Amino acid sequence: MRRPILYYIRHGETDWNARHRLQGQADTPLNATGEAQAQRCGKILRKLLLLREQNPADLDYVSSPLSRARVTMELIRTALGLDRAGYRIDPRLIEMSFGEWDGLDFAALQAQQAAVLALRQQDPWRFVPPGGESYEQLLPRIRDWHAGITRDTVVSAHLCTARALLVHLGLEPQTTASRGRIEHAVVYVFDHNGMTRHGA
């Protein structure tokens, strides 16, 4: 029995992304660029499903509860000709928490807390930001979510949840996963071939 295919999309850009501010679980909206990126992902996904002879209506659709992921999903579904609201929300897909660092400019953080960030560099997988969570703590909820997938699924979520998924699926070691690039405006396909990247 084949493992269900995942079409994984990181939410579109927000102003905080553009300004290199840590978002974590802060509920920041898409900006105009992010909306365009989500629409582009919908078009990419439509082509992929056509090539794979899959009917978009036959897939499951699930999003993180944060609005930047939900709006991304809604724009994708619109591009696929589906009801904008016909998807599920799963709290286990919420982004990793940066705790007290949520909203901070990363360059300023480097200047103000260089010693703490040096500890993070030593073991980024297990490092816990003040009041936040580590990748190690994030992984069990991603594993638990993935265990419940029963059919091919479109996912709208986040950078760190994607990194944890890569580790869970055995596609990336913990030692490098926390630095892996997961970009906006790209559809990542997880199937029996591993992971493939599909951009505009």
User: With contact defined as beta carbons under 8 Å apart, do 24 and 161 qualify?
Assistant: no
Q: Has 95 been annotated as catalytic?
A: yes
CA distance 17 to 23: 8
CA distance 177 to 125: 8
Q: Has 100 been annotated as catalytic?
A: no
* Host H or E run for residue 61: strand 60-63
Out of 95, 146, 168, 184, pick the active-site residue: 95
Amino acid letter for position 6? L
Q: Which residues pair with 63 in a beta bridge?
A: 89, 156
Residues near 32 by beta carbon (within 8 Å), at least 6 away in sequence = none
Q: Which residues are catalytic?
A: 11, 95
